[in-house]
């Protein structure tokens, strides 16, 4: 059955999870052993799990309409279930001071609870018919923002429960994610109308227009070495280049016959490599958009190619396919050099070590292969992780570690020499982790997920740094870091490209 919710303890040593078998479990992060549970008490799916600030308690919400509090050492229930909702509970949010718990339910209410006593606080807020999809406390804990099925955003006063801003109108479909800027002055909202909106949190006025871009899904981005151009690849069969925050195409390349899935610059930034569902890999001149040389036939049994990489010396191009084979081409002659097996299912991602000596690849069955970048592609490690896709892998800047993003919503870091798991699973995202990238100094990890968020992590401890970066309204497929490490670009199925300050997480 489903693992519906996972949450690291505040000290990062434990991981709590809620399941479709109505149970809660707690695991040791270092060993992976079950150290508490299964904890029984709920009578329906456990849908949200969250720790108290000091880690001594667990709060859980269930489709049995109850919230429960547990001793995190013994697993004993603390008091009776907290009842009040009349339909499934979708979400929990803890106030910054840890004294209040907010819950959002399909019964169209948001309720507040005293975390010590479990008593309902002064108000249960009746909103509008339909799901309350997202709730978020402001940074100072005095306000609560919510997103609804009526396409609106609302802001409530936590102390008295009054509506103090909204309904804020602008989206034309469900508002599915709401988050505050770090200083509380702005709200970012994501909607099923495929737009991202930015709002003044005092007035509710929209800040700027929604971003529009490709005519179809965007799959990949790559930043030119000089940081002046961003390239994006889409199901609309084009590669586009962008030069400012209100996206205006600088150049559009069209030549593939089907979806373009991956892009990568060759050293120097004058040529770009693409691969497509049309079973070809092509090289383009980015100044005039003309194809360079002949198309390289990818071969295989068809299906979407998912991984593309170029050696740092620009001499080799690696591409993956649905047949589990990793193919290597000469970038100058466009001739195939090698075909490496080792995966029994589609290869989803590939990366090359900084010294061009190793290549790593991940497939749809949770297998990561690290091999030598030689003609025979001799395997160094075959790492079995968890069932499901390995969506993204990336070597650390010094080449000693490999980070990966998975379909179980987790991030993992492996030692390249031994193949051992040395960090993780890192929990925080609530949907597939689709892109993983290191900071230039290797001290941080940036991750993007289908939960519409980007997150920043300490690469030594696995602790989250700050709040999620919200803005996209659709799945985020790809991240690209500027050469100076100060800007992060993200590409999403919502048809937009966003830029972020890597220090503050603020949109640029």
Close Cβ partners of 333 (under 8 Å, ≥ 6 residues apart): none
In a 3-state reduction of DSSP, which class is residue 276? strand
Which two structure tokens, joined as six digits, stand for 464? 């989250």
**What residues in the chain have per-residue pLDDT under 70?**
1-8, 29, 90, 120-136, 182, 194-196, 210-265, 267-270, 275-277, 286, 298-307, 321-323, 342-344, 375, 482-483, 491-497, 508
- Alpha carbon distance 20, 68 (integer Å): 16
**Bridge partners (DSSP) listed for residue 77:** 70
In a 3-state reduction of DSSP, which class is residue 349? strand
pLDDT digits (tens, 9 = 90+) for 269-313: 667 777 666 777 777 776 777 777 777 776 554 445 456 777 877
Give 240's Cβ-side CA count (13 Å radius): 23
pTM above 0.85, yes or no: no
Alpha helices in 336-394 (DSSP H): none
Residue ranges per structural domain of the chain:
1-52+63-79, 53-62+80-285, 307-501
pLDDT digits (tens, 9 = 90+) for 110-137: 787 888 877 765 555 666 666 666 666 7
- Alpha carbon distance 308, 315 (integer Å): 14
Q: Is the CATH code 3.50.50.60 the one for domain 53-62+80-285?
A: no
Domain 307-501 CATH superfamily: YVTN repeat-like/Quinoprotein amine dehydrogenase (2.130.10.10)
CB 373 within 8 A of CB 399: no
Tell me what pLDDT residue 458 has.
94
Tell me what pLDDT residue 359 has.
85
CB 63 within 8 A of CB 44: yes
Close Cβ partners of 82 (under 8 Å, ≥ 6 residues apart): 66, 67, 68, 69, 113, 118, 120
164 φψ region: left (φ > 0), alpha (ψ -120 to 50), beta (else) = alpha
**Bridge partners (DSSP) listed for residue 281:** 275, 296
- Alpha carbon distance 276, 303 (integer Å): 10
Tell me what pLDDT residue 101 has.
83
270 φψ region: left (φ > 0), alpha (ψ -120 to 50), beta (else) = alpha
- Alpha carbon distance 457, 111 (integer Å): 31
The DSSP line for 403-448 is EEEETTS-EEEEETTT--EEEEEE---SS-EEEEEE-TTSSEEEEE
CB 292 within 8 A of CB 274: no
pLDDT digits (tens, 9 = 90+) for 392-402: 888 999 999 99
- Alpha carbon distance 58, 24 (integer Å): 10
53-62+80-285 and 307-501: identical CATH topology: yes
């Amino acid at each position: 059955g489903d693992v519906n919710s996972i949450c690291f303890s505040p000290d990062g040593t434990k991981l709590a999870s809620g399941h479709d078998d109505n149970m809660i479990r707690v695991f040791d992060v270092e060993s992976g052993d079950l150290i508490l549970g299964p904890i029984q008490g709920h009578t329906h799916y456990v849908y949200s799990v969250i720790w108290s600030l000091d880690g001594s308690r667990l709060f859980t919400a269930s489709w049995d309409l109850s919230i429960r509090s547990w001793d995190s050492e013994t697993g004993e229930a603390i008091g009776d279930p907290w009842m009040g909702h009349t339909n499934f509970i979708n979400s929990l949010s803890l106030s910054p001071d840890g004294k209040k718990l907010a819950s959002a339910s399909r019964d169209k209410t948001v309720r507040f609870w005293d975390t010590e006593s479990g008593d309902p606080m002064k108000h249960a807020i009746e909103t509008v018919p339909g799901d309350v999809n997202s709730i978020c406390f402001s940074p100072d804990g005095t306000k609560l923002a919510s997103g609804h099925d009526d396409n609106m955003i609302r802001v409530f006063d936590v102390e008295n429960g009054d509506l103090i801003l909204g309904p804020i109108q602008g989206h034309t479909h469900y508002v599915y994610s709401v988050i505050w800027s770090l200083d509380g002055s702005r709200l970012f909202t994501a909607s099923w109308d495929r737009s991202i909106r930015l709002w003044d949190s005092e007035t509710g006025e929209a800040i700027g227009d929604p971003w529009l871009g490709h005519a179809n899904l965007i799959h990949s981005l790559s930043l030119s070495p000089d940081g002046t151009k961003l390239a994006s690849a889409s199901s609309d069969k084009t590669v586009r280049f962008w030069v400012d925050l209100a996206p205006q195409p600088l150049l559009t390349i069209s030549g593939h016959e089907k979806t373009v899935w991956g892009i990568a610059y060759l050293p120097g930034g004058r040529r770009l490599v693409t691969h497509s569902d049309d079973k070809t890999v092509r090289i383009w001149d980015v100044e005039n958009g003309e194809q360079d040389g002949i198309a390289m036939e990818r071969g295989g049994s068809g299906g979407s190619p998912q991984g593309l990489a170029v050696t740092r010396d620009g001499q080799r191009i690696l591409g993956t396919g649905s047949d589990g084979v990793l193919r290597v081409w000469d970038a100058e002659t466009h001739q195939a050099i090698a075909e490496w097996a080792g995966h029994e299912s589609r290869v989803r991602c590939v990366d090359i070590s900084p010294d061009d000596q190793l290549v790593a690849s991940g497939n749809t069955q949770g297998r990561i292969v690290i091999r030598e970048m030689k003609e025979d592609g001799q395997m160094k490690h075959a790492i079995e992780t968890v069932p499901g896709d390995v969506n993204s892998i990336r070597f650390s800047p010094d080449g000693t570690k490999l980070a990966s993003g998975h379909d179980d919503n987790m991030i993992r870091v492996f030692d390249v020499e031994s193949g051992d798991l040395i960090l993780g699973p890192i929990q925080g995202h609530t949907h597939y982790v689709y892109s993983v990238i290191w900071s230039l100094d290797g001290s941080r990890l940036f991750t993007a997920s289908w939960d519409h968020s980007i997150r920043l992590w300490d690469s030594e401890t696995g602790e989250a740094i700050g709040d999620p970066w919200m803005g996209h309204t659709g799945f985020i497929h790809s991240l690209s870091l500027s050469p100076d490490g100060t800007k992060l670009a993200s590409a999403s199925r919502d048809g937009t490209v966003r830029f972020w300050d890597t220090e503050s997480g603020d949109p640029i």
